[in-house]
Structure 1
Amino acid sequence: MTELEFQLVKTNKMTLHAVTAGPRNGPLVVLLHGFPEFWYGWRNQIKPLAEAGYRVLVPDQRGFNKSQKPEGIEQYTLDILRDDIIGLIKLYNREKAHIIGHDWGGAVAWHLASTRPEYVETLIPINIPHPAIMPKAMLTLPLQWLRSSYMAFFQLPEWPEKLLSADHFDGMAKGIKLSASKSSAFSQEDLLQYKEAWSQPGAMTAMLNWYRAIRAGIPEGFTQPEKVKVPTRMIWGVNDPFLSKKLAKKSIEHCEDGTLTFVGEATHWVNHEQPDIVNQLIANYLKNQAGIN
């Protein structure tokens, strides 16, 4: 039976809540959640990876759930979020790790692999494009602008917090459930877990600050990014209501050694909707990169 260990860890002058599992001497796999999730979003992936012999590390990223929530949007830029993960890799006495990220967690993973590749063994972004792709897409793909219009709303002060937290986050919970392709993807118990995380003091503003920090702009070097040299396996739920498939195709063009797999009957929440497929894709890729038959 896989036991989960809950810890508070220090990284980049920040205290993060984290979950670990698997053999302590196993290769390190870091799972990075996005908005509006927390470590629990990887509940279907932790056990299979741990049982395969990996040391699995799943932090609540800064601002989420039980992790520290610094004030100010400048505390949530991609460079700082990346450095949180570098600090974790060092804290667990590894030179590098396999990095798997979904949504905003995938953006952090892309940025880490693009700018500090020495810390990344393999990169697996799930339903998130390379951060340099989005600004261009907003200008050239009108439908993508409409799909991403919620990001503009999130820039407003106070109103997003009031709307999202209304009726104890009922609208937010229903939105996640309705946007999934399977009603079973998020159970009522799952949504209660999310509501508890969202209810943490200061969490909603801190979570939204990830979007508000976009005002700081794309980090230097991302407007004309170099090829991502780290072995990369993109996984994409084909019916993502928020992000176009074109973004995935354009992102993989930035990878020297990249493969892209579209998963059917899945949306943005592919790791919840099709966990067996996602787990198999991850397992096969990690084995192939390690040269294990």
Structure 2
Amino acid sequence: MYPELKHDIVQTNGISLHVVKAGPNNGPVVILLHGFPEFWYGWRYQIPYLALAGYQVWVPDQRGYNLSDKPVGVNAYNLDELAADVLGLIEASGRDKVSLVGHDWGAAVAWWVVNKYPHRFEHLVILNVPHHVVMHRHMRRSFSQMLRSWYIFFFQVPHLPETAVRLAQWFLLERVLRRSSRKGTFTTADLELYRQAWSQPGAITAMISWYRALFQSAVQRPESFRITVPTLLIWGGLDKFLGREMAGPSIDLCDDGHLVLLPEASHWVQHEENERVNKLIDDFMRYNP
């Protein structure tokens, strides 16, 4: 049995986001935030499981991606703007609080918005991304992490990254997904859907602008970097982009933090270990009031 997927357009923070919804209208709301270079489809294994478990699931294409608006300019993609998008989704849901799940860039947004606005969240679930303080520290002090993150620096070059992606006809992005994941994780049919999302007008520049905003756009620091919302951090041990040594220090910044390491999974943990990840998310939100 597969629940009905409703495709909706939600107004938030001055833009329109394409949001896929599933599950009962009276269920607790959980928002799933994808990362680079995915779109809502990156949660295809989690949406039906959580919807059938009784949650009302909201899965946006984040700004700049797929069918959502793609505002022009690097400043439109800083963490404060991305966090404001999430707050607008919560308002649109009609709930005072929701649970939030994020992977990759979606996890970075999730850490940030929960850090700054904890009163709007019941639970936080993070997949394979460290707390922003830990990431900043390792990017400055760890040579191995700097090497892993070489693409972040490449994306700072104006125009060149998106030109390279277009000239290669999406081969570069496909290769990144396939070479950094377990064999068979991304099928030919999956990648065709990804290509359609990447081909949306303005999408590639907008997606890369998230990285450019890290260095080029200022944000307002939170009063404290402690995470007070109950937090589950799931980490695939074979992540080629982010070292597992950042997981423990991230949990240390959480008042109620739980770490689960899946040693045989890659960065794409919710794809490769979807059954385990689904149960971990459901159990955590169900039994941590």
Q: What TM-score, normalized by structure 2, do the two folds share?
A: 0.97
1:8 corresponds to: 9
Q: Which amino acid aligns with 2:226?
A: K
Q: Distance between the aligned counterparts of 1:248 and 1:27, measured in 2?
A: 28
**Cα displacement (A) at 1:219:** 3.4
Q: Which amino acid aligns with 1:155?
A: Q
Q: Which amino acid aligns with 1:233?
A: L
- Could you give the per-residue CA deviations for residues 166-190 of structure 1, whole angstroms, max 9, x where no partner exists? 332022112211110x222111100
**Cα displacement (A) at 1:153:** 0.3
Q: Which amino acid aligns with 2:284?
A: Y
Q: Distance between the aligned counterparts of 2:136 and 2:28, measured in 1?
A: 35
1:231 corresponds to: 230
2:262 corresponds to: 263
Matched, 1:40 2:41: yes
Q: Distance between the aligned counterparts of 1:152 and 1:238, measured in 2?
A: 24
Q: Distance between the aligned counterparts of 1:215 and 1:167, measured in 2?
A: 26
2:100 corresponds to: 99
1:160 corresponds to: 161
CA contact (8 A) 1:132 1:218 kept: no
1:63 corresponds to: 64
Q: Distance between the aligned counterparts of 2:260 and 2:216, measured in 1?
A: 32
1:179 corresponds to: 180
2:282 corresponds to: 283
CA contact (8 A) 2:133 2:225 kept: no
Q: Which amino acid aligns with 1:288?
A: Y
- Could you give the per-residue CA deviations for residues 101-137 of structure 1, whole angstroms, max 9, x where no partner exists? 0000001110111000011110001001111222210
Structure 1 residues without counterparts, runs of 5 or longer: none
1:191 corresponds to: 191
CA contact (8 A) 2:99 2:124 kept: yes
**Cα displacement (A) at 1:220:** 3.7
CA contact (8 A) 1:126 1:234 kept: yes
Matched, 1:240 2:239: yes
**Cα displacement (A) at 1:239:** 0.8
Q: Which amino acid aligns with 1:173?
A: E
Q: Distance between the aligned counterparts of 2:80 and 2:267, measured in 1?
A: 25
**Cα displacement (A) at 1:218:** 6.5
1:124 corresponds to: 125
Q: Distance between the aligned counterparts of 2:143 and 2:154, measured in 1?
A: 17
- Could you give the per-residue CA deviations for residues 138-180 of structure 1, whole angstroms, max 9, x where no partner exists? 2221100100111000011111001122332022112211110
1:201 corresponds to: 201
Q: Which amino acid aligns with 1:287?
A: R
Q: Which amino acid aligns with 1:272?
A: H
Percent identity for Structure 1 against Structure 2 = 45
Q: Distance between the aligned counterparts of 1:175 and 1:227, measured in 2?
A: 33
Cα RMSD of the aligned pairs, angstroms, is: 1.2
Q: Distance between the aligned counterparts of 1:289 and 1:254, measured in 2?
A: 18
Structure 2 residues without counterparts, runs of 5 or longer: none
1:150 corresponds to: 151
**Cα displacement (A) at 1:217:** 5.8
Q: What TM-score, normalized by structure 1, do the two folds share?
A: 0.96
SS class of match (1:168): coil
1:54 corresponds to: 55
CA contact (8 A) 1:235 1:260 kept: yes
Q: Distance between the aligned counterparts of 2:225 and 2:150, measured in 1?
A: 28
Q: Distance between the aligned counterparts of 2:167 and 2:197, measured in 1?
A: 15
SS class of match (1:30): strand
CA contact (8 A) 2:152 2:211 kept: yes
**Cα displacement (A) at 1:74:** 0.4
CA contact (8 A) 2:185 2:272 kept: yes
Q: Which amino acid aligns with 1:186?
A: F
**How many residue pairs end up in the alignment?**
288
**Cα displacement (A) at 1:264:** 2.2
